[in-house]
Structure 1
Amino acid sequence: MEVEKLLTEQRNPVSMNLDTCSTIEMVELINSEDQKVARAIATQAHEIAQAIDQVSERFNQGGRLIYCGAGTSGRLGILDAVELVPTYGIDPKRAIGLIAGGQNAVYRSVEGAEDSAELAKKDLQHLNLNEYDSVFSLAASGRTPYAIGALEAAKQVGALAIAVACVADSRMSKYADVTIAPLVGPEVVTGSTRMKAGSAQKMVLNTISTGVMVRAGKVYQNLMVNVLPTNEKLMNRAIHIIAQTTNCDLKTAQQMLINAERNVPAAIIMQRTKLSLPVSKKLLKENNYKVADALNSFRK
Protein backbone atom coordinates (compact mmCIF):
# COMPACT_ATOMS: atom_id res chain seq x y z
CA MET A 1 0.00 0.00 0.00
CA GLU A 2 1.23 3.50 -0.84
CA VAL A 3 2.22 5.56 2.20
CA GLU A 4 -0.36 8.29 1.62
CA LYS A 5 -3.14 5.68 1.66
CA LEU A 6 -2.26 4.37 5.12
CA LEU A 7 -4.75 5.12 7.91
CA THR A 8 -2.00 6.81 9.91
CA GLU A 9 -1.34 9.23 7.03
CA GLN A 10 -4.92 10.29 6.31
CA ARG A 11 -6.18 13.81 7.04
CA ASN A 12 -8.43 14.00 10.08
CA PRO A 13 -11.69 15.74 9.10
CA VAL A 14 -12.29 17.08 12.62
CA SER A 15 -9.00 19.01 12.71
CA MET A 16 -9.04 20.62 9.27
CA ASN A 17 -9.22 24.07 10.91
CA LEU A 18 -6.67 23.36 13.63
CA ASP A 19 -4.56 26.41 12.78
CA THR A 20 -7.47 28.81 13.36
CA CYS A 21 -8.83 27.21 16.56
CA SER A 22 -8.67 29.07 19.85
CA THR A 23 -6.27 27.53 22.34
CA ILE A 24 -9.04 25.96 24.41
CA GLU A 25 -10.67 24.56 21.27
CA MET A 26 -7.35 23.03 20.22
CA VAL A 27 -6.83 21.43 23.63
CA GLU A 28 -10.36 20.01 23.69
CA LEU A 29 -9.98 18.69 20.16
CA ILE A 30 -6.72 16.88 20.91
CA ASN A 31 -8.17 15.48 24.13
CA SER A 32 -11.28 14.27 22.32
CA GLU A 33 -9.14 12.44 19.78
CA ASP A 34 -6.93 10.97 22.50
CA GLN A 35 -9.98 9.33 24.05
CA LYS A 36 -10.15 7.09 20.99
CA VAL A 37 -6.85 5.47 21.96
CA ALA A 38 -8.14 3.43 24.91
CA ARG A 39 -11.17 2.29 22.89
CA ALA A 40 -8.92 1.14 20.06
CA ILE A 41 -6.73 -0.83 22.46
CA ALA A 42 -9.81 -2.49 23.98
CA THR A 43 -10.44 -4.16 20.60
CA GLN A 44 -7.04 -5.85 20.91
CA ALA A 45 -7.54 -7.34 24.38
CA HIS A 46 -7.35 -10.96 23.23
CA GLU A 47 -4.20 -10.37 21.19
CA ILE A 48 -2.56 -8.54 24.09
CA ALA A 49 -3.45 -11.39 26.48
CA GLN A 50 -2.04 -13.88 23.97
CA ALA A 51 1.19 -11.89 23.85
CA ILE A 52 1.47 -11.80 27.66
CA ASP A 53 1.02 -15.56 27.94
CA GLN A 54 3.51 -16.39 25.20
CA VAL A 55 6.12 -13.85 26.32
CA SER A 56 5.78 -14.99 29.95
CA GLU A 57 6.44 -18.60 29.03
CA ARG A 58 9.76 -17.61 27.44
CA PHE A 59 10.72 -14.92 29.95
CA ASN A 60 10.25 -17.33 32.85
CA GLN A 61 12.71 -19.69 31.15
CA GLY A 62 15.36 -16.99 31.04
CA GLY A 63 14.40 -15.23 27.81
CA ARG A 64 14.69 -11.51 27.17
CA LEU A 65 12.31 -8.75 26.15
CA ILE A 66 13.77 -6.99 23.10
CA TYR A 67 12.11 -3.90 21.63
CA CYS A 68 12.85 -2.73 18.09
CA GLY A 69 11.66 0.34 16.21
CA ALA A 70 12.57 3.56 14.47
CA GLY A 71 11.92 7.12 15.61
CA THR A 72 9.10 7.48 18.12
CA SER A 73 8.42 3.75 18.07
CA GLY A 74 12.04 2.97 18.90
CA ARG A 75 12.12 5.51 21.72
CA LEU A 76 8.94 4.09 23.24
CA GLY A 77 10.45 0.61 23.21
CA ILE A 78 13.59 1.87 24.92
CA LEU A 79 11.47 3.62 27.54
CA ASP A 80 9.57 0.45 28.38
CA ALA A 81 12.78 -1.60 28.61
CA VAL A 82 14.62 0.91 30.78
CA GLU A 83 11.78 1.41 33.25
CA LEU A 84 11.34 -2.31 33.94
CA VAL A 85 14.71 -2.45 35.70
CA PRO A 86 14.07 -0.15 38.71
CA THR A 87 10.35 -0.93 38.84
CA TYR A 88 10.63 -4.71 38.96
CA GLY A 89 14.27 -5.32 39.84
CA ILE A 90 15.14 -7.30 36.73
CA ASP A 91 18.60 -7.64 35.23
CA PRO A 92 19.14 -4.84 32.64
CA LYS A 93 20.31 -7.48 30.18
CA ARG A 94 16.81 -8.98 30.17
CA ALA A 95 15.03 -5.91 28.78
CA ILE A 96 16.70 -4.26 25.81
CA GLY A 97 15.59 -1.45 23.51
CA LEU A 98 16.97 -1.11 19.98
CA ILE A 99 16.40 1.90 17.76
CA ALA A 100 17.26 2.26 14.08
CA GLY A 101 20.44 4.32 13.91
CA GLY A 102 21.72 3.39 17.36
CA GLN A 103 22.05 5.47 20.50
CA ASN A 104 22.38 8.79 18.66
CA ALA A 105 18.90 8.24 17.19
CA VAL A 106 17.39 8.44 20.66
CA TYR A 107 18.04 12.19 20.67
CA ARG A 108 17.91 13.14 17.01
CA SER A 109 16.77 11.58 13.76
CA VAL A 110 19.23 9.39 11.87
CA GLU A 111 18.07 9.64 8.29
CA GLY A 112 17.74 6.43 6.32
CA ALA A 113 18.33 4.06 9.25
CA GLU A 114 14.68 2.97 9.39
CA ASP A 115 14.80 1.95 5.73
CA SER A 116 17.21 -0.93 6.36
CA ALA A 117 15.88 -4.36 7.31
CA GLU A 118 19.45 -5.66 7.37
CA LEU A 119 20.38 -3.14 10.05
CA ALA A 120 17.78 -4.63 12.39
CA LYS A 121 19.05 -8.14 11.71
CA LYS A 122 22.62 -7.09 12.51
CA ASP A 123 21.52 -5.33 15.70
CA LEU A 124 19.78 -8.49 16.87
CA GLN A 125 22.67 -10.73 15.83
CA HIS A 126 24.91 -8.69 18.12
CA LEU A 127 22.60 -9.66 20.98
CA ASN A 128 22.85 -13.37 20.12
CA LEU A 129 19.08 -13.60 19.71
CA ASN A 130 17.72 -17.03 20.65
CA GLU A 131 14.48 -18.99 20.83
CA TYR A 132 13.72 -17.95 24.41
CA ASP A 133 13.64 -14.25 23.52
CA SER A 134 10.59 -12.15 22.63
CA VAL A 135 10.97 -9.41 20.02
CA PHE A 136 8.53 -6.51 20.05
CA SER A 137 8.64 -4.78 16.69
CA LEU A 138 6.99 -1.35 16.65
CA ALA A 139 5.90 0.80 13.72
CA ALA A 140 2.74 2.89 13.52
CA SER A 141 2.60 2.41 9.74
CA GLY A 142 3.20 -1.33 9.97
CA ARG A 143 5.63 -1.15 7.04
CA THR A 144 8.97 0.20 8.32
CA PRO A 145 11.79 -1.98 6.91
CA TYR A 146 13.78 -1.89 10.17
CA ALA A 147 10.73 -3.21 12.06
CA ILE A 148 10.11 -5.91 9.45
CA GLY A 149 13.76 -6.94 9.57
CA ALA A 150 13.50 -7.40 13.33
CA LEU A 151 10.54 -9.74 12.90
CA GLU A 152 12.34 -11.71 10.19
CA ALA A 153 15.36 -12.13 12.47
CA ALA A 154 13.13 -13.35 15.29
CA LYS A 155 11.45 -15.94 13.09
CA GLN A 156 14.80 -17.21 11.81
CA VAL A 157 15.95 -18.27 15.27
CA GLY A 158 12.56 -19.25 16.69
CA ALA A 159 12.17 -16.22 18.97
CA LEU A 160 8.66 -14.91 19.56
CA ALA A 161 7.83 -12.18 17.04
CA ILE A 162 5.27 -9.57 18.13
CA ALA A 163 4.18 -6.72 15.86
CA VAL A 164 2.61 -3.53 17.21
CA ALA A 165 1.16 -1.30 14.49
CA CYS A 166 -1.75 1.10 14.04
CA VAL A 167 -3.05 -0.10 10.68
CA ALA A 168 -4.99 -3.22 9.71
CA ASP A 169 -3.43 -6.05 7.70
CA SER A 170 0.01 -4.46 7.85
CA ARG A 171 3.11 -5.81 6.16
CA MET A 172 4.53 -6.50 9.61
CA SER A 173 1.65 -8.83 10.42
CA LYS A 174 2.86 -11.20 7.70
CA TYR A 175 6.03 -11.85 9.70
CA ALA A 176 4.62 -11.88 13.25
CA ASP A 177 3.45 -14.63 15.59
CA VAL A 178 1.16 -12.12 17.31
CA THR A 179 -0.02 -8.80 15.84
CA ILE A 180 -1.53 -6.05 17.96
CA ALA A 181 -3.14 -3.31 15.88
CA PRO A 182 -5.13 -0.63 17.69
CA LEU A 183 -6.69 1.50 14.95
CA VAL A 184 -6.59 4.99 16.43
CA GLY A 185 -7.38 6.73 13.13
CA PRO A 186 -5.83 9.79 11.49
CA GLU A 187 -3.83 12.12 13.70
CA VAL A 188 -4.88 15.65 14.63
CA VAL A 189 -1.77 16.83 12.81
CA THR A 190 -1.61 14.69 9.66
CA GLY A 191 1.04 11.98 9.88
CA SER A 192 2.27 13.00 13.35
CA THR A 193 2.20 9.48 14.76
CA ARG A 194 3.92 10.53 17.95
CA MET A 195 0.40 11.53 19.02
CA LYS A 196 -2.43 8.93 19.08
CA ALA A 197 -0.37 6.16 17.53
CA GLY A 198 2.49 6.79 19.94
CA SER A 199 0.10 6.83 22.90
CA ALA A 200 -1.41 3.55 21.73
CA GLN A 201 1.98 1.88 21.41
CA LYS A 202 2.96 3.07 24.88
CA MET A 203 -0.25 1.75 26.42
CA VAL A 204 0.10 -1.62 24.67
CA LEU A 205 3.68 -2.01 25.88
CA ASN A 206 2.69 -0.96 29.41
CA THR A 207 0.01 -3.64 29.51
CA ILE A 208 2.17 -6.42 28.09
CA SER A 209 5.28 -5.80 30.16
CA THR A 210 3.23 -5.31 33.34
CA GLY A 211 1.40 -8.57 32.67
CA VAL A 212 4.69 -10.39 32.10
CA MET A 213 6.13 -9.01 35.34
CA VAL A 214 3.01 -10.09 37.26
CA ARG A 215 3.29 -13.59 35.80
CA ALA A 216 6.98 -13.64 36.77
CA GLY A 217 6.15 -12.98 40.42
CA LYS A 218 7.42 -9.40 40.45
CA VAL A 219 4.13 -8.21 41.95
CA TYR A 220 2.53 -9.24 45.24
CA GLN A 221 -1.14 -8.26 45.48
CA ASN A 222 -0.86 -5.01 43.48
CA LEU A 223 2.51 -3.92 44.85
CA MET A 224 5.84 -3.82 43.02
CA VAL A 225 7.66 -5.93 45.59
CA ASN A 226 10.79 -6.31 43.47
CA VAL A 227 11.39 -2.56 43.38
CA LEU A 228 15.08 -1.70 43.71
CA PRO A 229 15.45 0.76 46.63
CA THR A 230 18.23 2.76 44.97
CA ASN A 231 17.14 6.25 46.03
CA GLU A 232 15.18 7.91 48.83
CA LYS A 233 11.84 7.69 47.01
CA LEU A 234 12.24 4.02 46.22
CA MET A 235 13.54 3.28 49.71
CA ASN A 236 10.41 4.84 51.20
CA ARG A 237 8.27 2.87 48.76
CA ALA A 238 9.96 -0.36 49.79
CA ILE A 239 9.42 0.37 53.49
CA HIS A 240 5.75 1.17 52.95
CA ILE A 241 5.28 -2.01 50.89
CA ILE A 242 6.65 -4.09 53.75
CA ALA A 243 4.47 -2.27 56.26
CA GLN A 244 1.32 -2.60 54.14
CA THR A 245 1.75 -6.31 53.49
CA THR A 246 2.75 -7.33 57.01
CA ASN A 247 0.69 -4.89 59.11
CA CYS A 248 3.76 -3.63 60.94
CA ASP A 249 4.81 -0.05 61.66
CA LEU A 250 7.23 1.85 59.45
CA LYS A 251 10.12 1.60 61.90
CA THR A 252 9.80 -2.17 62.02
CA ALA A 253 9.50 -2.31 58.23
CA GLN A 254 12.66 -0.24 57.84
CA GLN A 255 14.61 -2.52 60.15
CA MET A 256 13.26 -5.59 58.37
CA LEU A 257 14.41 -4.17 55.03
CA ILE A 258 17.90 -3.74 56.50
CA ASN A 259 17.86 -7.26 57.90
CA ALA A 260 16.82 -8.58 54.49
CA GLU A 261 19.68 -6.71 52.78
CA ARG A 262 17.17 -4.56 50.87
CA ASN A 263 15.40 -7.60 49.43
CA VAL A 264 11.74 -6.59 49.75
CA PRO A 265 10.14 -10.01 49.07
CA ALA A 266 12.49 -11.62 51.59
CA ALA A 267 11.67 -8.92 54.13
CA ILE A 268 7.95 -9.64 53.73
CA ILE A 269 8.52 -13.38 54.20
CA MET A 270 10.74 -12.76 57.24
CA GLN A 271 8.21 -10.48 58.92
CA ARG A 272 5.23 -12.71 58.17
CA THR A 273 6.89 -16.04 59.07
CA LYS A 274 9.74 -15.08 61.43
CA LEU A 275 12.09 -17.16 59.29
CA SER A 276 15.74 -16.19 58.81
CA LEU A 277 16.96 -14.46 55.66
CA PRO A 278 18.62 -17.58 54.16
CA VAL A 279 15.51 -19.69 54.79
CA SER A 280 13.23 -16.96 53.43
CA LYS A 281 15.31 -16.71 50.25
CA LYS A 282 15.20 -20.49 49.90
CA LEU A 283 11.42 -20.49 50.31
CA LEU A 284 11.07 -17.81 47.64
CA LYS A 285 13.32 -19.71 45.24
CA GLU A 286 11.33 -22.92 45.74
CA ASN A 287 8.18 -20.99 44.79
CA ASN A 288 9.55 -19.25 41.69
CA TYR A 289 10.07 -16.04 43.69
CA LYS A 290 6.32 -15.50 44.06
CA VAL A 291 5.56 -14.08 47.51
CA ALA A 292 1.97 -15.35 47.65
CA ASP A 293 3.01 -18.89 46.73
CA ALA A 294 5.87 -18.81 49.23
CA LEU A 295 3.55 -17.75 52.06
CA ASN A 296 0.98 -20.39 51.10
CA SER A 297 3.72 -23.00 51.04
CA PHE A 298 4.85 -22.00 54.51
CA ARG A 299 1.32 -22.26 55.93
CA LYS A 300 1.00 -25.81 54.62
Structure 2
Amino acid sequence: MTETRAVITETTGRRWWRRSKSTSSLTWRKALTRDWRLYTFLVLPLVFLLIFRYIPMVGNIIAFRRFRPGGSILGDEWVGFYYFEAFINNAQFWQVFWNTVILGTITLLICFPLPIVLALMLNELRSRRFKRIVQTISYLPHFMSIVIVAGLVLQLTSLTGTINQIIDAFGGDAIPFMQRPEWFRTIYVSSEAWQTVGWGTILYLAALTTIDDQLYEAARIDGANRWQQTWHITLPGIRPTMMVLLILNIGSFMAVGFEKVLLLQNPLIYSTADVISTYLYRVGIQSAQFSYATAIGLFEAVIGLTLVLGANFISRRLVGTSLW
Protein backbone atom coordinates (compact mmCIF):
# COMPACT_ATOMS: atom_id res chain seq x y z
CA MET A 1 0.00 0.00 0.00
CA THR A 2 2.83 2.40 0.90
CA GLU A 3 4.66 1.64 -2.34
CA THR A 4 1.47 2.21 -4.34
CA ARG A 5 0.94 5.60 -2.66
CA ALA A 6 4.56 6.54 -3.37
CA VAL A 7 4.18 5.65 -7.05
CA ILE A 8 0.92 7.63 -7.30
CA THR A 9 2.49 10.63 -5.58
CA GLU A 10 5.55 10.55 -7.85
CA THR A 11 3.38 10.23 -10.97
CA THR A 12 1.13 13.09 -9.84
CA GLY A 13 4.18 15.24 -9.13
CA ARG A 14 5.61 14.64 -12.60
CA ARG A 15 2.29 15.49 -14.23
CA TRP A 16 2.01 18.69 -12.17
CA TRP A 17 5.58 19.71 -13.11
CA ARG A 18 4.95 19.08 -16.80
CA ARG A 19 1.63 20.92 -16.68
CA SER A 20 3.13 23.93 -14.84
CA LYS A 21 6.10 23.99 -17.25
CA SER A 22 3.83 24.00 -20.30
CA THR A 23 1.55 26.60 -18.70
CA SER A 24 4.46 28.93 -17.91
CA SER A 25 5.85 28.47 -21.42
CA LEU A 26 2.42 29.25 -22.89
CA THR A 27 2.05 32.30 -20.64
CA TRP A 28 5.48 33.61 -21.65
CA ARG A 29 4.74 33.15 -25.35
CA LYS A 30 1.36 34.78 -24.97
CA ALA A 31 2.88 37.78 -23.18
CA LEU A 32 5.60 38.10 -25.83
CA THR A 33 3.03 37.97 -28.62
CA ARG A 34 0.79 40.51 -26.93
CA ASP A 35 3.50 42.99 -25.86
CA TRP A 36 6.14 42.46 -28.54
CA ARG A 37 6.35 46.19 -29.20
CA LEU A 38 7.45 46.82 -25.61
CA TYR A 39 9.98 43.99 -25.73
CA THR A 40 11.60 45.54 -28.81
CA PHE A 41 12.88 48.33 -26.54
CA LEU A 42 15.13 45.72 -24.91
CA VAL A 43 16.96 44.97 -28.15
CA LEU A 44 19.34 47.94 -28.13
CA PRO A 45 20.26 47.70 -24.41
CA LEU A 46 20.91 43.96 -24.78
CA VAL A 47 23.03 44.53 -27.88
CA PHE A 48 24.94 47.25 -26.04
CA LEU A 49 25.61 44.98 -23.06
CA LEU A 50 26.64 42.14 -25.33
CA ILE A 51 29.09 44.18 -27.40
CA PHE A 52 30.57 46.46 -24.75
CA ARG A 53 30.26 44.38 -21.57
CA TYR A 54 30.24 40.64 -22.24
CA ILE A 55 32.30 40.15 -25.40
CA PRO A 56 35.22 42.23 -24.01
CA MET A 57 35.37 39.83 -21.05
CA VAL A 58 37.02 37.36 -23.42
CA GLY A 59 40.01 39.70 -23.44
CA ASN A 60 40.69 38.84 -19.79
CA ILE A 61 42.53 35.80 -21.11
CA ILE A 62 45.57 37.96 -21.84
CA ALA A 63 46.02 38.34 -18.08
CA PHE A 64 47.33 34.76 -18.27
CA ARG A 65 48.95 35.00 -21.72
CA ARG A 66 51.73 37.24 -23.02
CA PHE A 67 50.26 39.79 -25.41
CA ARG A 68 52.45 41.47 -28.00
CA PRO A 69 51.17 44.28 -30.25
CA GLY A 70 50.72 42.87 -33.73
CA GLY A 71 50.36 39.29 -32.49
CA SER A 72 47.32 37.27 -31.59
CA ILE A 73 44.52 39.23 -29.95
CA LEU A 74 44.29 36.49 -27.30
CA GLY A 75 48.01 36.43 -26.58
CA ASP A 76 50.94 34.50 -28.00
CA GLU A 77 52.00 32.22 -25.14
CA TRP A 78 50.68 31.01 -21.82
CA VAL A 79 52.43 32.54 -18.78
CA GLY A 80 50.00 31.57 -16.01
CA PHE A 81 50.06 33.87 -12.98
CA TYR A 82 53.25 35.67 -14.00
CA TYR A 83 51.60 39.11 -14.26
CA PHE A 84 49.68 38.61 -11.02
CA GLU A 85 52.91 37.84 -9.21
CA ALA A 86 54.47 40.90 -10.86
CA PHE A 87 51.99 43.41 -9.46
CA ILE A 88 51.73 41.65 -6.09
CA ASN A 89 55.50 42.09 -5.68
CA ASN A 90 55.37 45.68 -6.96
CA ALA A 91 55.49 48.28 -4.15
CA GLN A 92 54.04 50.97 -6.42
CA PHE A 93 50.92 48.89 -7.04
CA TRP A 94 50.24 48.51 -3.32
CA GLN A 95 50.61 52.26 -2.89
CA VAL A 96 47.93 52.97 -5.49
CA PHE A 97 45.84 50.10 -4.10
CA TRP A 98 45.71 51.60 -0.61
CA ASN A 99 45.16 55.06 -2.10
CA THR A 100 42.09 53.62 -3.84
CA VAL A 101 40.84 51.92 -0.67
CA ILE A 102 41.26 55.05 1.45
CA LEU A 103 39.71 57.38 -1.12
CA GLY A 104 36.83 54.97 -1.76
CA THR A 105 36.16 54.55 1.95
CA ILE A 106 36.10 58.30 2.61
CA THR A 107 33.88 58.89 -0.41
CA LEU A 108 31.46 56.17 0.71
CA LEU A 109 31.29 57.36 4.32
CA ILE A 110 30.65 60.99 3.34
CA CYS A 111 28.86 60.93 0.00
CA PHE A 112 26.45 58.07 0.79
CA PRO A 113 24.65 59.57 3.83
CA LEU A 114 24.51 63.15 2.51
CA PRO A 115 21.71 62.50 -0.05
CA ILE A 116 19.69 60.81 2.72
CA VAL A 117 20.11 63.83 4.99
CA LEU A 118 19.22 66.26 2.21
CA ALA A 119 16.16 64.19 1.22
CA LEU A 120 14.94 64.18 4.84
CA MET A 121 15.43 67.95 5.06
CA LEU A 122 13.58 68.53 1.80
CA ASN A 123 10.79 66.27 2.99
CA GLU A 124 10.27 68.54 6.02
CA LEU A 125 9.81 71.68 3.91
CA ARG A 126 6.26 72.96 3.71
CA SER A 127 6.82 75.50 0.92
CA ARG A 128 6.66 73.63 -2.39
CA ARG A 129 8.14 76.57 -4.28
CA PHE A 130 11.19 76.79 -2.03
CA LYS A 131 11.54 73.00 -2.16
CA ARG A 132 11.61 73.03 -5.97
CA ILE A 133 14.17 75.83 -6.01
CA VAL A 134 16.46 73.92 -3.64
CA GLN A 135 16.07 70.71 -5.66
CA THR A 136 16.85 72.49 -8.94
CA ILE A 137 19.96 74.14 -7.53
CA SER A 138 21.21 70.89 -5.98
CA TYR A 139 20.58 68.92 -9.21
CA LEU A 140 22.53 71.27 -11.49
CA PRO A 141 26.10 70.10 -10.64
CA HIS A 142 25.21 66.57 -11.75
CA PHE A 143 24.65 67.75 -15.32
CA MET A 144 28.01 69.50 -15.55
CA SER A 145 30.82 67.80 -17.43
CA ILE A 146 33.62 66.26 -15.38
CA VAL A 147 36.03 68.48 -17.30
CA ILE A 148 34.12 71.59 -16.22
CA VAL A 149 33.96 70.43 -12.60
CA ALA A 150 37.71 69.69 -12.57
CA GLY A 151 38.39 73.08 -14.14
CA LEU A 152 36.33 74.82 -11.46
CA VAL A 153 38.14 72.93 -8.71
CA LEU A 154 41.56 73.82 -10.14
CA GLN A 155 40.57 77.47 -10.49
CA LEU A 156 39.19 77.68 -6.95
CA THR A 157 42.24 76.00 -5.40
CA SER A 158 44.97 77.73 -7.43
CA LEU A 159 47.36 80.19 -5.77
CA THR A 160 45.31 83.09 -7.11
CA GLY A 161 41.97 81.32 -6.82
CA THR A 162 38.94 82.24 -4.76
CA ILE A 163 39.90 80.17 -1.72
CA ASN A 164 43.36 81.68 -1.48
CA GLN A 165 41.92 85.16 -2.02
CA ILE A 166 39.70 84.61 1.01
CA ILE A 167 42.71 83.34 2.99
CA ASP A 168 44.69 86.43 1.96
CA ALA A 169 41.79 88.68 2.98
CA PHE A 170 42.00 87.27 6.52
CA GLY A 171 45.76 87.79 6.63
CA GLY A 172 46.83 84.22 5.88
CA ASP A 173 49.35 82.86 3.40
CA ALA A 174 48.28 81.31 0.10
CA ILE A 175 48.26 77.50 0.11
CA PRO A 176 49.29 75.53 -3.01
CA PHE A 177 46.47 72.99 -2.56
CA MET A 178 47.09 71.01 -5.73
CA GLN A 179 50.80 70.71 -5.00
CA ARG A 180 50.42 69.18 -1.56
CA PRO A 181 49.40 65.49 -1.38
CA GLU A 182 47.61 65.86 1.97
CA TRP A 183 44.97 68.16 0.44
CA PHE A 184 43.95 65.97 -2.52
CA ARG A 185 41.52 63.67 -0.72
CA THR A 186 39.72 66.57 0.93
CA ILE A 187 39.37 68.40 -2.38
CA TYR A 188 38.24 65.31 -4.28
CA VAL A 189 35.62 64.22 -1.74
CA SER A 190 34.30 67.78 -1.37
CA SER A 191 33.85 68.17 -5.12
CA GLU A 192 32.28 64.71 -5.36
CA ALA A 193 29.78 65.52 -2.62
CA TRP A 194 28.90 68.86 -4.25
CA GLN A 195 28.34 67.18 -7.60
CA THR A 196 26.36 64.10 -6.51
CA VAL A 197 24.45 64.93 -3.32
CA GLY A 198 21.51 66.64 -5.06
CA TRP A 199 21.04 64.00 -7.74
CA GLY A 200 21.23 61.22 -5.16
CA THR A 201 18.15 62.54 -3.34
CA ILE A 202 15.79 61.65 -6.21
CA LEU A 203 15.38 57.99 -5.28
CA TYR A 204 15.04 58.78 -1.58
CA LEU A 205 12.38 61.43 -2.21
CA ALA A 206 10.51 58.90 -4.35
CA ALA A 207 10.77 56.33 -1.55
CA LEU A 208 9.47 58.86 0.98
CA THR A 209 6.26 59.28 -0.99
CA THR A 210 5.43 55.58 -0.49
CA ILE A 211 5.26 55.89 3.31
CA ASP A 212 1.68 55.84 4.60
CA ASP A 213 0.65 59.20 6.16
CA GLN A 214 -1.50 57.33 8.68
CA LEU A 215 1.67 56.16 10.39
CA TYR A 216 2.67 59.78 11.06
CA GLU A 217 -0.82 60.61 12.31
CA ALA A 218 -0.74 57.69 14.72
CA ALA A 219 2.71 58.72 15.92
CA ARG A 220 1.58 62.30 16.53
CA ILE A 221 -1.40 61.04 18.51
CA ASP A 222 1.00 59.02 20.66
CA GLY A 223 3.03 62.18 21.28
CA ALA A 224 6.00 61.53 19.02
CA ASN A 225 7.96 64.60 17.94
CA ARG A 226 9.43 65.16 14.46
CA TRP A 227 12.75 63.52 15.32
CA GLN A 228 11.04 60.43 16.74
CA GLN A 229 8.79 60.20 13.68
CA THR A 230 11.85 60.39 11.43
CA TRP A 231 13.75 57.75 13.40
CA HIS A 232 10.91 55.25 13.82
CA ILE A 233 8.88 55.77 10.62
CA THR A 234 10.78 57.63 7.90
CA LEU A 235 14.12 55.86 8.11
CA PRO A 236 12.61 52.33 8.31
CA GLY A 237 10.36 53.26 5.38
CA ILE A 238 13.28 54.09 3.10
CA ARG A 239 15.60 51.39 4.46
CA PRO A 240 15.14 49.02 1.46
CA THR A 241 16.16 51.83 -0.92
CA MET A 242 19.11 52.72 1.29
CA MET A 243 20.38 49.14 1.37
CA VAL A 244 20.07 48.62 -2.38
CA LEU A 245 21.97 51.83 -3.11
CA LEU A 246 24.56 50.95 -0.46
CA ILE A 247 25.19 47.58 -2.12
CA LEU A 248 25.57 49.28 -5.51
CA ASN A 249 27.97 51.86 -4.05
CA ILE A 250 30.03 49.12 -2.41
CA GLY A 251 30.20 47.37 -5.78
CA SER A 252 31.85 50.44 -7.30
CA PHE A 253 34.00 50.92 -4.20
CA MET A 254 37.27 50.18 -6.00
CA ALA A 255 36.31 52.04 -9.17
CA VAL A 256 37.00 55.52 -7.84
CA GLY A 257 36.10 58.18 -10.42
CA PHE A 258 38.79 57.79 -13.07
CA GLU A 259 38.05 60.94 -15.07
CA LYS A 260 38.02 63.38 -12.16
CA VAL A 261 41.10 61.87 -10.49
CA LEU A 262 43.00 61.93 -13.79
CA LEU A 263 42.09 65.57 -14.42
CA LEU A 264 42.94 66.72 -10.89
CA GLN A 265 46.14 64.79 -10.23
CA ASN A 266 49.71 65.70 -11.12
CA PRO A 267 53.08 64.05 -10.39
CA LEU A 268 53.54 66.14 -7.24
CA ILE A 269 50.57 64.50 -5.51
CA TYR A 270 50.85 60.94 -6.84
CA SER A 271 51.51 59.69 -3.30
CA THR A 272 47.82 60.21 -2.43
CA ALA A 273 46.14 60.95 -5.79
CA ASP A 274 47.29 57.96 -7.82
CA VAL A 275 44.59 55.24 -7.79
CA ILE A 276 44.24 51.89 -9.56
CA SER A 277 42.29 53.30 -12.53
CA THR A 278 44.87 56.01 -13.29
CA TYR A 279 47.72 53.56 -12.69
CA LEU A 280 46.10 51.19 -15.19
CA TYR A 281 45.81 54.03 -17.69
CA ARG A 282 49.52 54.81 -17.49
CA VAL A 283 50.64 51.20 -17.48
CA GLY A 284 48.17 49.80 -20.01
CA ILE A 285 47.62 52.66 -22.46
CA GLN A 286 50.69 54.86 -22.20
CA SER A 287 53.25 52.11 -21.57
CA ALA A 288 51.46 49.45 -23.69
CA GLN A 289 51.79 46.75 -20.99
CA PHE A 290 48.40 45.29 -21.84
CA SER A 291 48.72 41.90 -20.16
CA TYR A 292 50.01 43.44 -16.93
CA ALA A 293 47.20 46.01 -16.90
CA THR A 294 44.59 43.31 -17.63
CA ALA A 295 45.80 41.26 -14.67
CA ILE A 296 45.42 44.27 -12.37
CA GLY A 297 41.99 45.06 -13.80
CA LEU A 298 40.86 41.46 -13.30
CA PHE A 299 42.12 41.57 -9.72
CA GLU A 300 40.14 44.77 -9.12
CA ALA A 301 37.01 43.24 -10.68
CA VAL A 302 37.23 40.17 -8.46
CA ILE A 303 37.45 42.40 -5.38
CA GLY A 304 34.42 44.37 -6.54
CA LEU A 305 32.42 41.19 -7.16
CA THR A 306 33.37 39.85 -3.73
CA LEU A 307 32.28 43.10 -2.07
CA VAL A 308 28.91 43.05 -3.85
CA LEU A 309 28.22 39.41 -2.98
CA GLY A 310 29.27 39.96 0.63
CA ALA A 311 27.23 43.13 1.06
CA ASN A 312 24.20 41.50 -0.56
CA PHE A 313 24.47 38.45 1.71
CA ILE A 314 24.85 40.53 4.88
CA SER A 315 21.96 42.80 3.88
CA ARG A 316 19.69 39.82 3.18
CA ARG A 317 20.52 38.18 6.51
CA LEU A 318 20.36 41.27 8.73
CA VAL A 319 17.81 43.52 7.02
CA GLY A 320 15.91 41.22 4.68
CA THR A 321 16.59 43.44 1.66
CA SER A 322 18.92 42.48 -1.18
CA LEU A 323 19.48 42.83 -4.91
CA TRP A 324 18.64 39.17 -5.50
- Fold shared, TM-score > 0.5 on shorter chain: no
Structure ranking higher on relative contact order (CA contacts 8 Å, 6+ apart)? 2
Instruction: Calculate the TM-score normalised by the size of structure 1.
Output: 0.22
Q: Which has the higher helix share?
A: 2
Instruction: Calculate the TM-score normalised by the size of structure 2.
Output: 0.21
Point out the structure with max Rg over C-alpha.
2
Q: Which has the higher strand share?
A: 1
